[in-house]
Amino acid sequence: MTFRSLLDADLSGKRALVRVDFNVPMEDGKVADDTRLRSALPTIHFLSEKGAKVILLAHFDRPKGKRVPAMSLAPVVEPLSKLLEQPVAFADDCIGPKAKAVIDGLENGGVALLENLRYNAGEEANDPDFVRALSQNGDLFINDAFSAAHRAHASTEGLAHILPGYPGLSMQLELEALDAALGDPQRPVMGIVGGSKVSTKLDLLKNLVTKLDKLAIGGGMANTFLYAQGHDVGASYCEKDLAETAREIIRLAGQNNCKLFLPQDIVVAEKMAPGAPARIRTLGAVDDEERILDAGPESVARIKRAMDNSRTLIWNGPLGVFEMPPFDRATVEAAQYAAKLAQEGKLVAVAGGGDTVAALNHAGVAAQLTFVSTAGGAFLEWMEGKPLPGVDALKIKTGD
């Protein structure tokens, strides 16, 4: 194990600085979706029950180092308190006398939320003076915000170099799931990557074809690969200037024995509109005015057969325009099949990324996969093989 375990920490009476992700959707000054608050509950409850003073650090929106009243974390206090079923104190600053006064007033097991970290420019700059000012309010540091782990900010990376650092319980689950998917997976390992643009996922594709046994490519980005292979894509969205890049990825996959699955048949329509008349076409049989909007039934059947012969699946991005039936069929059918195999214990299925979570919710199976990450950018950068400063800073160094 490369991280300290929170389960082994001496917590009673200790001031625990906990980085959480409370960058929640707001409507009319109220929390519109409390998913991120709920994800922090296990760590907060654990620390509170162990007698720690729980001091929550978070950012909201992008105030860029200035006090913006509309970006205050104050509206989070009441819904968080209800979820915890205990009072949550609020400090009007994250450092200095106001923060200290609130923290000093906490009893063992008490919880406080400090004001938006990004009101101070030192947060995003990872300024050493700001890091020291934050650290004065804590005895140990716990990062439970994997979604912000790709940022080297004061509260995600800097604090771990001053205080003893631990992953929170939610982050620990995420790290274990990611290790099971790409770190030390059960093989064969299959990937599904979809979405509209190859250009936004170049690093991802180039990394995955060196690590996976098979990779299915869908969504709009598949059009670029089909075009690169000489197939007519009609009026479909296609990054034609990336055709050579697509061919390079195909070559790289071959060199690394990664079998690529591109659509074998396609669903087309003249208009991208709900309920638009859809037709199934073979590759290349696309009229000039038609758009490819989904993978066809044979392509989905091939993906399902590939899942049957895999032990691990990592998924990012839909296979078609899932928001617009009937072009959601490939995504829904593949997602439901992956969930079935995961529930039967035949497949470790890990998924993440904004559109992916929405697509899995649309298919009604987000809760049935092995693990679904809501971390967005951090999840993608991990899939791309990039270092995550907020994770690396927590790793136990030689001599610790």
Catalytic residue among 132, 197, 259, 279: 197
If asked whether residues 322 and 198 sit together in one domain, one would say yes
- Its domain, for residue 39, covers 6-170
Same domain, 193 and 307: yes
- Which among 51, 65, 109, 354 is annotated as catalytic? 354
Q: What is the pLDDT of residue 216?
A: 98
The domain boundary, picked from 115, 144, 170, lies at: 170
Query: How high is the pLDDT of residue 135?
Result: 98
| 69 and 192 share one domain | no
Judge if 32 and 166 occupy the same domain: yes
Task: Look up residue 387 and give its two tokens.
Answer: 């270092």
In which band, very low, low, confident or very high, does the pLDDT at 391 lie, cut at 50, 70 and 90? Answer: very high
Q: Are residues 118 and 218 located together in one domain of the fold?
A: no
Q: Is 190 within 8 Å of 216 (Cβ atoms)?
A: yes
Per-residue confidence at 353, pLDDT binned at 50, 70, 90?
confident
Q: What is the CATH number of the domain that holds 190?
A: 3.40.50.1260
- Cα-Cα-Cα-Cα torsion 338, 343, 348, 354, nearest 10 degrees, comes to 60
> Is 397 inside a domain boundary?
no
Q: Is 19 exposed, middle or buried (0-12, 13-18, 19+ CB in 10 A)?
A: buried
pLDDT in tens, 167-177: 999 999 999 99
pLDDT in tens, 212-242: 999 999 999 999 999 999 999 999 999 999 9
Please tell me the predicted confidence (pLDDT) of residue 92: 97
Indicate whether 1 pLDDT > 60: no
Residue 192 lies in a domain: yes
Beta carbons within 8 Å of 116's beta carbon, 6+ residues apart: 58, 59, 60, 61, 63, 71, 72, 73, 94
Residue (of 216, 180, 206) closest to 312 by Cα position: 180
Same domain, 21 and 153: yes
Q: Is residue 175 part of a domain?
A: no
Asked if residue 164 and residue 229 are part of one domain, the reply reads: no
Establish whether 36 is a catalytic residue: yes
Q: What is the predicted pLDDT for the residue at 396? A: 85
Whether 179 is covered by a domain: the verdict is: no
The kind and range of the H/E element at 175 are helix 169-178
Q: Is 354 a catalytic residue?
A: yes
pLDDT of res. 244: 97
Domain boundary among 147, 170, 193: 170
Domain count, the chain: 2
Residue 290, pLDDT above cutoff 90: yes
Query: Does 149 fall in a domain?
Result: yes
* E strand map for the chain: 15-19, 26-27, 30-31, 53-57, 88-91, 111-114, 140-143, 165-167, 189-193, 214-217, 259-261, 265-269, 279-282, 291-295, 312-316, 348-352, 371-373
Identify the active-site residue in 65, 96, 377, 385.
377
131 domain-assigned? yes
Residues 233-258 have a mean pLDDT of: 97
**Secondary structure (3-state) at 91:** strand
- pLDDT at 276 (0 to 100): 87
Residue 12 counted as domain residue: yes
pLDDT of 284 reads: 82
Residue 399, in any domain of the structure: no
User: Is 163 in the same domain as 196?
Assistant: no
**Which residue is catalytic, options 14, 36, 291, 329?**
36
* Same domain flag for 224 and 279: yes
* Domain shared by 152 and 204, yes or no: no
Domain boundary, last residue among 136, 170, 204: 170
Co-location of 147 and 191 in the same domain: no
Looking at the fold, whether 206 and 151 belong to one and the same domain comes out as no
